[in-house]
Structure 1
């Protein structure tokens, strides 16, 4: 017999907030209670276990305050059903509400109705997933500010559909919804530079993946949540999320390529936190997985990773470690290996090569690569790529009176570029 899933909404919100055990959440709640005026509240791991069961009891008022304070969601979004029901008289029938119903209200869209309407046919899962797949493909060419609203509306539709599906169709819609939330979170973090919004969106993605019972998709979402503290230099928090991602990957029987990507994510977080030696070791392990492990397919939604993109991670880490000749060689090889549609990654590589030449005291070559990055950004905007160009400009400060640097400034601070950057 299959093991009951329990209150997956609370479990996933706990993990996404960085509490990797029930005891960790219990300790955090007891500490937070004193800070928000609920000093008499004492929470033990047994209570957390009850809340994460199949039939979680309705928390008392002080416990609700602390839970919502720590996890950033309403008590209903955390999987609790009020004993008096939504109509103030009787509790809603079991199974009539999706575990993620209502989550879109947290991201500024209309609240999803809690009552079921007409049951959906089995084909709705295939149709809904087809749109998710189309969005996945469009990400590589459509401007993120234009694509993001469409994805958000599609996720809202998924929240409406999910309560009215069952069986395999239910799992298909939930998995597609999780992927849509993941894509929205990726755009918010990498393209629009909205880490707080991305963090909230990725929690919803994890809840949907739990509804689909898809541990591999859950692992991918958790790994993306690690980028947020990792890029901010909060190494311990990023490391905890990577541990959670690896745990889910193990449950999902991840392929060597998927595990190599997890190494790459951890390596980038370590690099951002200044631990380049650790990062290079992780990248070496990822390279071994790709070259010696069995060549098994990755999930179709994992279209953001390849040996060339791993090499791009490596080149950036070599640059930050001060291994300038090695970084130049690696990044030039990446440019040759990237597919034609890898416009966003190409922008980042041009920016890193510009930094390599600035570090080598070759300002003209640095400006030339920065100019190529700007050419690509004019075609496909990518905030992470523009960050690389701005980093290079700061590195070129010793040569700011040179003609090549002034010409770069003319492009970097032209009317169109400046207005566009401010709008984004």
Structure 2
């Protein structure tokens, strides 16, 4: 049996820092993703491939190799059964010469995987999964901090990375659509970070990019997210008619008929717009409809990470809180604030700061400056000084407190409290 060493595989492993054992581990994970069953590769298997004793792996193994390396089996030096190797084995008695051969082959493999030779670089679902894991990190960072320019810039960079993969090699239509969806998702996160940071002109630019990418992807979930965010953007910009129109586009998508949780979120965000438009009767109906749709949603259904990360009872009550504050119904606003805070997940630090600030406003508007000030003082210093929306709400709270109780010990305590914030930033 011809046992010509597989120099292309060895070169790829050398370039990417893999030992036989670490490559076997990566292949086991890839096979489980592809088939649902864990692989049983070990270092001995890979050494068999490297030595040339095993020249053509089974079909599932070849798929796993493509998933891990991004290269076809032929580009990795494997030879189908019955076909002779294309070149004789080089002499191996000289270690220095051996290292030169490997280094030269690395250059060949790198050239084959470069964007200029797209046929050799296969973009697959493993690339999509990597981007989606990164997207989950962006979402988590947003819920901890929110509104930060750094989050916005990182999301834009990741959207560019996803688009660059479109030109990095060959891919199926499914993969290409998923890449556009990933890019749209990152752009929509950049858009939300800009909205949250009150950088509205930047948010509009991200929105337009995200909408175009979402159309290319054909992904209903990301289209919903972008148009729903557009409604929030226009509401914050003081354009309620445009906000309602954008939210109507989101609510008109097929996904809201297929999944009641999307329908619930669309109705809940409509509530916030109705509050600005002073639509009291419509707001009451909308809350009941949003709650009913949420109750109908299948908790076990697959949904994108961005939706699962934030939309629940706490967010529904938060949007109702925002709506009733705008409407001037402060007792109802306080009720929804307490319900939201009780249901908030621990990592929702930004949402907790926003809801607490709104609760302080609702309490102050009902004539209880002492309780309102105690509430406002529980907002973390980090959120109060680094989150644009929270900072703005607390500045407005201070102005309203001084107008309501000028010269009072409570107003003086609030002034000292905020001065301490500023002194330590």
Q: TM-score range by the shorter chain?
A: 0.5 to 0.7
> Matched residues in 1 for 2:255 and 2:330: separation?
40
Tell me the residue number matched to 2:116: 117
TM-score (norm 1): 0.65
Q: How does 1:10-409 map to 2 (within 5 A)?
A: 117-119=116-118, 120-121=121-122, 122=124, 123-142=126-145, 144-164=148-168, 165-167=170-172, 168-190=174-196, 192-248=197-253, 250=254, 253-295=257-299, 297=301, 298-302=303-307, 303-375=309-381, 377=383, 381-396=386-401, 397-409=403-415
Helix, strand or coil for the counterpart of 1:139? helix
Structure 2 unaligned regions, length at least 5: 1-114
Residues 1-54 of structure 1 show CA distances to partners (whole Å, capped at 9, x for unaligned) of xxxxxxxxxxxxxxxxxxxxxxxxxxxxxxxxxxxxxxxxxxxxxxxxxxxxxx
Task: Give deviations 1:362-400, integer Å, cap 9, x for gaps.
Answer: 11111111111244625x943222232223223211213
- Structure 1 unaligned spans of 5+: 1-115
Measure, in 2, the Cα distance between the counterparts of 1:235 and 1:218.
20
Please state whether the residue corresponding to 1:156 is helix, strand or coil.
helix
Give the Cα–Cα distance (whole angstroms) in 1 for the partners of residues 256 and 183 of structure 2: 19
1:259 & 1:177 partners in 2: Cα distance? 24
Residue from 404, 415, 418 that aligns with 1:412:
418
CA RMSD in angstroms comes to 2.6
Count of aligned positions? 302
- The structure with more helix, counted as a fraction of residues: 2
CA pair 364-264 structure 1, distance change in 2 beyond 3 A: same
Q: 1:172 to 1:149 in 2, by over 3 A?
A: same
Measured against aligned partners, the alpha-carbon deviations of 1:143-175 in whole angstroms (never above 9, x if no partner) come to: 623333222222222222223453232122221
Larger Rg: 2
Does the Cα contact within 8 Å between 1:229 and 1:238 map onto a contact in 2?
Answer: yes
